[in-house]
Amino acid sequence: MSIVFITIPGDIKRHFANTLYEETGGALKVVIVQRPKKLSFFMRLKRLFRRVGLLNLPKEFFYGVLLRINRARHALEYFRTYSDRHVGDHLSEVIEVDSVNDDEVFNILKKISPDLLVIWGSTVLEPRIYTVAKKAINLHMGYCPHYRGALANHTAVLMDDFSNIGATIHYVAEKVDAGEILLSLRGNTDLGPKRMFIDLNDRALSSFVDVSKRLWMGEHVDTRPQDISGSKNLLLKHWTPSVRYKVGRKIIDWEKGLLLG
């Protein structure tokens, strides 16, 4: 039985891939990495203008400067902080692509015909990509069904909904982060924001390895359906400097004990 991993660049993604490769005796055949898009300053400015309009552009510039001189930017790093660990080179074959939805990826998957497709951090996959595999699962850094999309835990903080910070492993479905849930984890808010995210992220990583391995071995893993009617989803286009600053400041206030009281 074979596995393919679709992801984005990063040491922690490489650590997951190597761990899964070792835990499955080399069943992870290929890691498909989507290259990040490199945008010039002009293109980033143009995109921000389209998001906020001319009248709000000065305000967003102001918050962009604040993010660079204030602790808020550092606080945002907590969302993707893990315990220190040594990360070696990839053990399995790595293929870098501009889009995980292009014909190259489709043809690679058709040739391998994987039993399991594991996904973490990539853009939304087209159905023709994930249906090539017998099973496709995703690690979502958010507590489903409450928060879906790319900025789920950020949205929970923005909404002061700290009890619904978490991570979810689920089957891939046509709607984003809406497939049946295999496992969900909640953050331990008693730890404070930095330690909580390290603990949550570490548990999510190890759980994703475990669930992937169990499915690869053919083990039955119970699932539960999602009711996404009340889900919240902060779209990437709304992740402006002012929103980023607001989330960062909430994390700082949390550290000072000004929240959760």
| In the chain, where the domains are located | 3-37+86-233
From the list 222, 161, 3, 186, the residue with the least C-alpha distance to 91 is 3
Looking at the chain, the whole-number percentage of residues with pLDDT higher than 90 is 70
Six token digits for residue 212: 């992937």
Helix, strand, coil proportions of the chain in percent (round to 5)?
Answer: 45, 15, 40
Is the CATH number 3.40.50.410 carried by domain 3-37+86-233? no
Number of neighbours of residue 95 by Cβ within 10 angstroms: 12
Q: What's the rounded mean pLDDT across residues 52-60?
A: 85
Which range among 58-67, 183-192, 213-222 shows the weakest confidence by mean pLDDT?
58-67
Identity of the residue numbered 244: R
Q: Give counts: helices (H), strands (E), the chain.
A: 9, 7
Q: What is the overall mean pLDDT for the chain?
A: 92
User: 92-145: per-residue pLDDT in tens?
Assistant: 999 999 999 999 999 999 999 999 999 999 888 999 999 999 999 999 999 999
Q: What's the rounded mean pLDDT across residues 210-217?
A: 98
Q: CB of 33 within 8 A of CB of 146? A: no
The pLDDT of residue 43: 81
Position of tokens 């040491």? 11
The DSSP annotation for 15-35 comes to: HHHHHHHHHTTS-EEEEEEEP
Alpha carbon distance 86, 44 (integer Å): 34
Alpha carbon distance 138, 205 (integer Å): 12
Q: Is the pTM of this model over 0.85?
A: yes
Q: CB of 121 within 8 A of CB of 10? A: yes
Q: What's the rounded mean pLDDT across residues 20-45?
A: 89
DSSP 3-state of 214: helix
